[in-house]
Amino acid sequence: MDTKRWILVLAILPLALVTVAASHDDDPNCRDISDDPEEPIVICTETNWFHCIDDVKVQNYYALTAGQYASWDTTEPAGSVTDGEGCGYYENLFSADGENPYDVIHKGTYTGLIDSFSVELHNIHVSSFRALGAYWVGLRIVVDGVVIFENETENFVTLFPEPSDTGLSEAMRFTVLGVDLLDPDTDDTEHTVTVQVKSYNDAQAAWVWDTTEVPAHITFNNEFIVGTPIFVG
């Protein structure tokens, strides 16, 4: 290659690198959280809604028979419970160590860097204990096969239910902070995330999702802390 061509290549190369580094600049859902402008760490906010497995309303069936749990994607629920949409998971006093079919579990993936994620769950009234206000749960959070949070039974996570307009269900929210999967070289890596919940207030609970009335979801890299903060870093 002659000298002129080398000069042209060297002149264009920095522009190409800048273009790659700024590939998220046009996405309003992405932001740079790095303190060093020379080494950006770009995270993107993405909401994924929990969806039913097939048409079976009681999702325990899949957990008990096939070890399969409801997942998520970026499609927001469009149907109403009045149209027969949605499903749920019945939970009672039975439990077991680790991943088990007695607790409600959602498992899915996210591609990109993860700083945090927020979860919104919906529960319907099946116990008089709900009048107490605060709702105590056990949480087990697993990312890429590694348990990053699991509280002991004597250290409940306290959630604060928000009644729906109808009063028939309640939303509960928490945010997992300090996940710290922020290596820019892995921004195209697919991560597997498991959210497992066990109620402690109630002898029984019914978690519901996948309708416009109960749009349970997980939001990765939310700009704000939603609900109860849970620090794992």
Give the range among 55-64, 66-75, 113-122, 218-227 with minimum mean pLDDT: 55-64
Place of tokens 């004597």: 154
Q: Are 88 and 204 in contact (CB under 8 A)?
A: no
161-205 residue pLDDT tens = 998 877 778 999 999 999 999 999 999 999 999 999 988 766 578
Strands 169-181 and 228-231: parallel
pLDDT computed for residue 127 by the predictor: 55
| Entry field: residues in the chain | 233
pLDDT digits (tens, 9 = 90+) for 44-93: 999 999 999 988 899 999 998 888 999 999 999 999 999 999 999 998 76
What pTM, to 2 d.p., does this model score?
0.86
Q: Give pLDDT tens digits for 8-30.
A: 333 433 444 344 444 566 789 99
The three-class DSSP label of residue 148 is strand
Measured distance CA(138)–CA(104) in Å, rounded: 11
